[in-house]
Amino acid sequence: MKTGVFPGKFLPPHRGHITAILRAHALCDKLYVVISERTVEDGDLCRQAQLPYISGVLRQRWLSQELQGLGIEVLLQNDDASPPFPQGWGEYACQLKQTVPEPFSVIFGGEESYRDGHNQFFPGIDYQVLDPQRTQWPISGTEIREHPYKHWDYIAGAARPFFARKVLITGPESCGKTTLTRKLAKVYCTSWSEELGRDYQHDVVGGNGDLFDLEDFNRITHLQYEQDVKALRSANKVCFFDTDAVVTAFFSDVFMGQIASRVESFIDPAKYDLVIALKPTVPWVADGMRELGTPEVRALSFDKLMALYRHYGFATERFVVIDAADYYQRLEQCIASVEQLLCGG
Ligand SMILES: NC(=O)c1ccc[n+]([C@@H]2O[C@H](COP(=O)([O-])OP(=O)(O)OC[C@H]3O[C@@H](n4cnc5c(N)ncnc54)[C@H](O)[C@@H]3O)[C@@H](O)[C@H]2O)c1
């Protein structure tokens, strides 16, 4: 029985890592992937790339998603107490032997320069180097952190939702949100999450808004969240959202005179990288389910919705407000703001 260990930072995991891990797995009977987390150093690396901290647990979740079902165990090791390399070799070696729950006979890696250290601090354990020139996937974690959109295809699938830019298109009824969201998704060849409250109203309530009850808005928020997560999983650099929980809170208040109890727990001002707010300056389209059609009510709805965003901690002064009265201009303004969001990545 040959047991191997594949250590790394995996900040973030990419195809080079995954392929090397799978090769290592083919060379032994049991493989442990060990994520080495140094919160200060790793935190600095994320900050330098202007990314939120990618915690060890998050990396463990991503790698576990990627490798599940293959008999590879993903472990997390906190190396905060070890000095940096090369002084930290001894502590690192001790810690690794404690983290892995059984004796191992081989350590895999891609760095020839670590061989002497391995020979000294892991006596009797082979050090096997795989693809040291990174010929198959010429990529590093540093390159991905600094330019995730340029190197998008290398990012491990499970980590892509973290890196995908999230764009919310919001606004009151009949301002072209759904069409614009679909068009933007097509322009950027990516996924989007459509508002499902209207389908819910059609399918469950029979189209008659008077028949809503408060619990319906809790369900809508939850279903929308699930759909958003699914859309994000297949995003190509950017993902578009046709609605959010603030809009559901708004309609809960319109129909029921109060906000359903669980809606607020889905409101997250930090979720979106860009919020595009559409003003109701295009013609009203009656579809049998819309309620708020007069020009005065439409303008008031927009103001009320923005006030609700402020109430929930959104920085509405950073919203891109689209007030052009024609669809061509609206689309152009949206594309320009998305371009700005993605540029430099
Ligand atoms: N930094 C040091 O001087 C040093 C010294 C000794 C041990 N270590 C330990 O070694 C482990 C690896 O650290 P790291 O910073 O190199 O981790 P990492 O997350 O950057 O990489 C993990 C492993 O994948 C390999 N790899 C990376 N990109 C690849 C690609 N495109 N194709 C094929 N293989 C690729 C790396 O060579 C490494 O072996 C860590 O556990 C670390 O603590 C580091």
Residue 8, ligand 1, Cβ within 6 A: yes
CATH, residue 271 = 3.40.50.300
Taking alpha carbons only, the member of 95, 135, 89 closest to residue 114 is: 89
Closest residue to atom 12 of ligand 1, CA basis: 8
Check which CATH number belongs to the domain holding 102 and give it: 3.40.50.620
In a shared domain, residues 122 and 154: yes
> Which tokens go with 16?
């080079």
Of the residues 115, 139, 158, the one at which a domain ends: 158
Distance of CA 152 to the CA centre of its chain: 13
Summarize pLDDT for 77-94 with one digit per residue, the tens.
999 999 988 899 999 999
237 in contact with ligand 1, CB cutoff 6 A: no
- As for how many domains the chain has, the answer is 2
Instruction: Please tell me the predicted confidence (pLDDT) of residue 293.
Output: 64
Of 105, 123, 158, the residue at which a domain comes to its end is: 158
First to last CA, the chain: 45
Q: What local confidence, expressed as pLDDT, does residue 109 receive?
A: 96
Q: What is the pLDDT of residue 128?
A: 97
Q: Which domain covers residue 244, as residue numbers?
A: 164-342
Percent of the chain with pLDDT over 70: 97
127 CB within 6 A, ligand 1: no
pLDDT, position 85: 87
Contact 16, 130 (CB under 8 A): no
Whether ligand 1 lies within 6 angstroms of the CB of 212 is answered as no
Alpha-carbon gap, residue 151 to 156, rounded angstroms: 11
Residue 117 shares a structural domain with residue 193: no
C-alpha 262 to ligand 1 mean position (Å): 44
The complex scores an ipTM of: 0.95
Which residue's CA is the nearest one to ligand 1's atom 30? 16
The rounded distance, in Å, linking the Cα atoms of 73 and 184 is 40
Q: pTM for this one?
A: 0.92
Question: 218 and 192: one domain?
Answer: yes
Model confidence over 243-260: pLDDT tens digits?
999 999 999 999 999 999
Check: CB of residue 151 under 8 Å from CB of residue 50.
no
Instruction: Name the residue among 188, 284, 278, 290 with its Cα closest to residue 238.
Output: 188
Identify the pLDDT of residue 121: 96
CA–CA separation, 16 vs 2, rounded Å?
23
Render each residue's pLDDT in the chain as its tens digit; 345 residues: 999 999 999 999 999 999 999 999 999 999 999 999 999 999 999 999 999 999 999 999 999 999 999 999 999 999 999 998 889 999 999 999 999 999 999 999 999 999 999 999 999 999 999 988 999 999 999 999 999 999 999 999 999 999 999 999 999 887 889 999 999 999 999 999 999 998 999 999 998 888 999 999 999 999 999 999 999 999 999 999 999 999 999 999 999 999 999 999 999 999 999 999 999 887 767 666 556 667 788 889 999 999 999 999 999 999 999 999 889 999 999 999 999 999 866
Task: Indicate whether 104 and 214 sit together in one domain.
Answer: no
